[in-house]
Chains A and B, each alone.
Chain A
Amino acid sequence: MRSNQGWDADRAQARIQELERLPGALLPILHALQDEFGYVDKAAIPLVARALNLSHAEVHGVVSFYHDFRHDEPGRHVLKMCRAEACQSMGCENMIRHVENRLGIKLGGTTEDRSFTVEAVYCLGNCALSPAVMLDGKLYGRVSSDVADFLIDEAKRHA
């Protein structure tokens, strides 16, 4: 979970300045912004473009190309569920449907109370312990529907 919520141009500028001199700095900067705010705000695009001497279109093109970069603020918890082949062979589709039903959202969605965002991911590298999910950056294996329920309950309890 992130501590610093809400867009703030000064904080963004500070993160950009830390990294702007790296060769190929754009991805590290976008990651830093997403770490800071949970997403890449539209207002960041001109700041990044100016720092790296790129056009707004070039920066937007990169933000929109990569699946990782969100355009909106996510829920307090982000649950990434693997739908790649190894997890499919262990029934991840059923588990994912269960989670979708329980939270009342589809993959890519955020619950109304903004507690959870669920996203599809294609392989977490835990293919001998499928199905796998990642909750707030932590990896879990052998995630049945029951385990998924437990993880969601625990996350709710601590938030």
Chain B
Amino acid sequence: MSLKIFVPGDAAALSVGAEAVAKAMTQQIASRRLDASVVRNGSRGMFWLEPLVEVETPRGRIAYGPVTAEEVPGLFDAGFLEGKPHRLHLGVTEDIPYLKKQERLTFARCGITDPLSLSDYVSHGGYRGLERALTLTPQAIVEEVTNSGLRGRGGAGFPTGIKWKTVLNTPSHQKYIVCNADEGDSGTYADRMIMEGDPFVLIEGMTIAGFAVGATSGYIYLRSEYPHAFRQLQRAIAIAYDKGYLGENVAGSGKRFDLEPRIGAGAYICGEETSLLESLEGKRGQIRFKPPLPALKGLFGQPTVVNNVISLATVPIIMDKGAQYYRDFGMGKSRGTLTIQLAGNIKRGGLVEKAFGLTLREAIYDFGGGTASGRPLRAVQAGGPLGAYFPESLLDTPLDYEAFAERKGMLGHGGIVVFDDTVDLAHQARFAMEFCAVESCGKCTPCRVGSTRGVEVIDKIIANQDRVQNLELLGDLCEVLTDGSLCALGGLIPFPVQSAVRHFPEDFDKPAPPPPAFEASKTQETPSWR
């Protein structure tokens, strides 16, 4: 039997040279006349080890990493095809503590299978969820998802089953499933990984959602910053159509489900569900007033389920193993697993799928190994650009929606960005306001005008102009943004700003003038259309 060598085709692995490694492997196989082939799997999510090469042996898959193309001949010389020792030898992949300590449900196949092999997908448990769903009534599918306790993994944490139930109970000749793949939060990449590493699980989840609520058409709205994921989704969808898992007779059930990926155009706000729908309709991505909810009047005015990638990709395992299996993971009202993404200044950045309840400290130190720079950790931002900055003293906060909310923070999509002691929180607060100004859709005044005023007020605070009064003014402004904004962008931007002021007051009490890092963004020529 032909030996299998796995070299990830994930965009992050490619970003550090996986393509060159794969090429070198193929060359070595040819020149040494070996009976081996290179499989382009997804990433295991241990990015500090990428490109992580694995080889299949009787002892299981053995990992080597990070591999460079130059080291490939040496690996063959050392006998890595038999899993023999080498400087980059990491042992059995599944035994690497970072992976071993995880509870991979949604990401069960990611990094293991060939993402574009439907037979791989099926032999690793794929389409069992759909198979079971086809034996149930729509009501029973929705009930199963509701009972699993699955909440929207995009960040808002709204119960997925309740959303589905509303769409199911709204009669219409046409309903839609829309997947929100506009993963715009800095520090997050779980959506990208699963779309590149196991795209069929998303297709299966959306198909089940379609059958559950009576929708025959689905769209994946993907951000344009992910061209690699887009190509991967296009290929996977074409395969699913070809093999009868999409189209007019899904898996021989006689039921129809069509799916099309669409690409965004670089607007953070389009991660907000109503902006996303406007954008899909071909309009400016401005948010809509709610009500009506998208579940009642969504895409093209029809009842629409809008769910995040991870929420939808988690549905197949819930349907396969049952609601009880899934809800047995987690704590409090946060059931199941969270896909934590360790990012920024961290030694071992990567994806950690684990039941809710791990603390920030455990995630950052036990998994992440502390800062990449080796300097002391000073601040952590969880939940993307709208999430709060937490100091060291809040690191024992468990990763759970409610625990974060209690501490005026947000768990969001599970991204955790670590900063060392060189960070200046006044600069970060200013950046938050600047980001809000760049990305505001302009519909409501607090966000459109308030964000620009916010930048100005923070500039004055940093320049030590009437600092006390301006800090008070900033507090008032944040209150207006929180209470008066139409959506989460304006409504939550006070989180990073106020948490910086609250937890790091010393950074707002430095002598003027501003630090040089901040000078750069100030003198930056912003294109007129931004």
Contacts and interface: CB of A to CB of B under 8 A. Distances in A.
Interface of A: 23-28, 30-31, 52, 58, 61-62, 64-69, 71, 80, 83-90, 93-94, 96-97, 100, 106-109, 120-130, 132, 134, 137-142
A89 B523 contact: no
10 contacts: A66-B267, A89-B418, A93-B521, A97-B520, A108-B530, A126-B12, A127-B344, A129-B15, A139-B11, A139-B12
Contacts of A83: 521
Contact of B265 (A52, A69, A121, A123): A69
B439 A52 contact: no
B423 A89 contact: yes
Contacts of B498: none
A107 B228 CA distance: 24
B439 A130 contact: no
Contact of B526 (A65, A93, A108, A121): A108
Contacts of B264: 27, 66, 68
Contacts of A71: 529
A90 B85 CA distance: 33
Contacts of A30: 265
Contacts of B266: 66-68, 121
A85 B344 contact: yes
Name the residue in B341, B423, B524 with the highest tally of chain A Cβ atoms < 10 Å from its Cβ: B524
Contact of B349 (A58, A121, A129): A129
Contacts of A64: 529
B284 A125 contact: no
A86 B343 contact: yes
B350 to A, nearest CB: 5
Interface of B: 11-12, 14-16, 47-48, 50, 183-189, 191-192, 224-228, 262-268, 279-286, 300, 341-346, 349-350, 372, 381, 385, 415, 417-420, 423, 428, 431, 435, 438-439, 441, 517, 520-521, 523-527, 529-530
Contacts of B279: 27
A107 to B, nearest CB: 5
A128 B283 contact: no
Contacts of A80: 225
A121 B342 contact: no
Nearest to B526: A108
Nearest to A26: B282
A96 B523 CA distance: 13
Contact of A87 (B47, B186, B282): B186
Contacts, number: 181
Interface centre among A28, A107, A123, A137 (most CB of B within 10 A): A123
Contact of A126 (B189, B227, B280, B385): B189
Given A66-B265, A139-B228, A85 B431 contact: yes
A83 B267 CA distance: 15
A128 B190 CA distance: 11
Q: Specify which of A96, A108, A127 lies most central, judged by the most chain B CB atoms within 10 Å of its CB.
A: A127
Residue among B183, B225, B431 having the largest count of chain A Cβ atoms under 10 Å: B225
A85 B428 contact: yes
A58 B284 CA distance: 9
A127 B341 CA distance: 9
A127 B282 contact: no
A52 B283 CA distance: 12
Given A24-B280, A129-B15, 19 more contacts: A24-B262, A26-B282, A27-B282, A52-B282, A66-B264, A66-B285, A87-B344, A93-B521, A121-B225, A122-B186, A123-B183, A123-B187, A125-B12, A125-B189, A126-B12, A126-B189, A128-B341, A128-B343, A129-B16
A20 to B, nearest CB: 11
A122 B521 CA distance: 13
Contacts of B521: 83, 93
Contacts of A109: 525
B282 A139 contact: no
B69 to A, nearest CB: 15
Nearest to B530: A67
Contact of A27 (B263, B268, B428): B263
B520 A126 contact: no
Contacts of A120: 524
Contact of B267 (A67, A90, A106, A125): A67
Contact of B227 (A25, A90, A96, A137): A137
A28 B268 CA distance: 18
Nearest to A89: B344
B435 A122 contact: yes
Nearest to A128: B349
B284 A25 contact: no
A106 B529 contact: no
Nearest to A139: B15
Contact of B187 (A26, A85, A94): A85
B39 to A, nearest CB: 21
A88 B189 contact: no
Contacts of B438: 122
A130 B527 contact: no
A32 B431 CA distance: 33
Given A67-B530, A108-B526, A125 B225 contact: yes
Contacts of B228: 139
Given A27-B279, A129-B349, A89 B47 contact: no
A127 B417 contact: yes
Given A28-B262, A109-B525, A141-B16, A125 B530 contact: no
Contacts of B11: 125-126, 139
